[in-house]
Amino acid sequence: MGVSTSPAITVRPRAGGDAGVDVAVEDVRIAAPGPGQVRVAIRATGVCHSDLHVVNGDWPADQPLVLGHEGAGVVEEVGPGVTGVAPGDHVVLSWFAPCMACANCSAGRGWLCTGTTALANTLPDGSTPFAGADGSPLWPYLGLGTFGSHVVVPETAAIRVDDELPFTVGALLGCSVTTGVGAVLNTARVPAGASAVVVGCGGVGLSIVMGLRLAGAHPIVAVDLSADKRAMALELGADVVLDPRETDTGAWLQEQFGGVDFAFEAIGNAQVIETLPGMLAAGGAAVLVGMPRMGARSSIDPYELADQGKSILGCNYGSSVARVDVPRLARLYLAGRLPLDRLIDTVRPLAEGPQALDELASGAGLRSILTP
């Protein structure tokens, strides 16, 4: 199969530097896979706040992009030298395709890969598989660009999963779930019986709640501005929920439990991050999962951290090795141990992507899934 054309959701920077971006549904050309590359037909793609960060200018875009990085689909065609997947395989796409050659990849820490080109929004050889109708390049967001009918990705970004796994759930395994559950199991290594608070209960935060439940944490406290998100956190395993407009989370946790062992931030709000150490018991750890706008600063009290042995952990992609963690989480879902489908609010056509991004910005609803 050669070049094909189909609609995708794009963002194009407006002329004049900091003037923001235009979001559109437009016809995009998709190339055939090159050496080491795989062409995947997208069956479902989730709308994540990391897409919204580009749309709202938190992370300024300097290239025109095909948006989307949380997707699952079916391998349609493989390029020369691809041995790990074949046409017809069901795959989850990983937005942090490791280079498999740097020191961190060699040490089995692919989430810390320093050779990946994903963050530069290109394929590993610096190219893009996408072009606009006029032939000018469009770049794959986080090396994927899942908000369309097809992607062309390096073999290392296409993770084979069980055919029984619904594509909607597979899409969430591409980002929010692997990040959130991984933050608990890999980054923080929460032991059974540890206490925890999760601040922000969107797709990532609710995945953290599910991960804490799986790990046997207790009590699990969940905080969100939205009553719907708090209700879902209770259903998914939180023991207590708090509205931060009514309750000072840190003061309440200190009064009730003398602080908690782990405090997860899943919003990306620099002011909220500043309040995490105050939620912890001595020896506790704050885990930064939410990603703030570029350049944001948070201030901490270093005396408190040193004196009380508190720590702050950064968390990229749930400290996950996608090839290991994604199939593992898929099996837990299929075994009924992780009710990941509960995160899905609406499944809607790709053309409604801009509306889904607006709803995510307003905090309404749970995860939206788009289908091409």
Ligand X SMILES: NC(=O)c1ccc[n+]([C@@H]2O[C@H](COP(=O)([O-])OP(=O)(O)OC[C@H]3O[C@@H](n4cnc5c(N)ncnc54)[C@H](O)[C@@H]3O)[C@@H](O)[C@H]2O)c1
Interface positions with ligand X (CB under 6 A): 48-50, 53, 175-176, 179, 199-205, 223-226, 229, 244, 266-269, 272, 289-291, 315-317, 360, 363
Q: Which is nearer to ligand X, 85 or 300 (CB)?
A: 300
Q: Which is nearer to Zn ion, 96 or 262 (CB)?
A: 96
Q: Which is nearer to ligand X, 10 or 368 (CB)?
A: 368
Contact call for residues 369 and 352 (beta carbons, < 8 A): no
Give least dist CB 88 to Zn ion, A: 27
Q: Which is nearer to Zn ion, 99 or 322 (CB)?
A: 99
Q: Cα dihedral angle (138, 144, 146, 147), rounded to 10 degrees?
A: -30
Q: Is residue 97 close enough to count as binding Zn ion by CB under 5 A? A: no
Contacts with Zn ion: how many residues (CB under 5 A)? Answer: 9
Bridging pattern class, strands 240-242 and 311-314: unpaired
Give least dist CB 139 to Zn ion, A: 17
Assign 166 to helix, strand or coil: coil
Which residues form the catalytic set?
48, 50, 53, 69, 175
Q: Which is nearer to Zn ion, 65 or 99 (CB)?
A: 99
Bridging pattern class, strands 137-140 and 37-46: unpaired
Bridging pattern class, strands 196-199 and 260-265: parallel
Pull the structure tokens for residue 150.
Answer: 């097809």
Pull the structure tokens for residue 246.
Answer: 């009514």
199 binds, among Zn ion, ligand X, none (CB under 5 to 8 A by kind): ligand X
Query: Binders of Zn ion among 170-199, rule CB under 5 A?
Result: 175
Site string for Zn ion, 21-60 (x = CB under 5 A): ---------------------------x-x----------
| CA atoms within a 13 Å half-sphere pointing along the CA-CB vector of 362 | 9
Give least dist CB 76 to ligand X, A: 27
Pull the structure tokens for residue 4.
Answer: 């094909």
102 binds, among Zn ion, ligand X, none (CB under 5 to 8 A by kind): Zn ion
Site string for Zn ion, 61-80 (x = CB under 5 A): --------------------
Give least dist CB 131 to ligand X, A: 28
Among 163, 142, 125, CA closest to 65? 142
Binding site for Zn ion (CB under 5 A): 48, 50, 98-99, 102, 105, 113, 115, 175
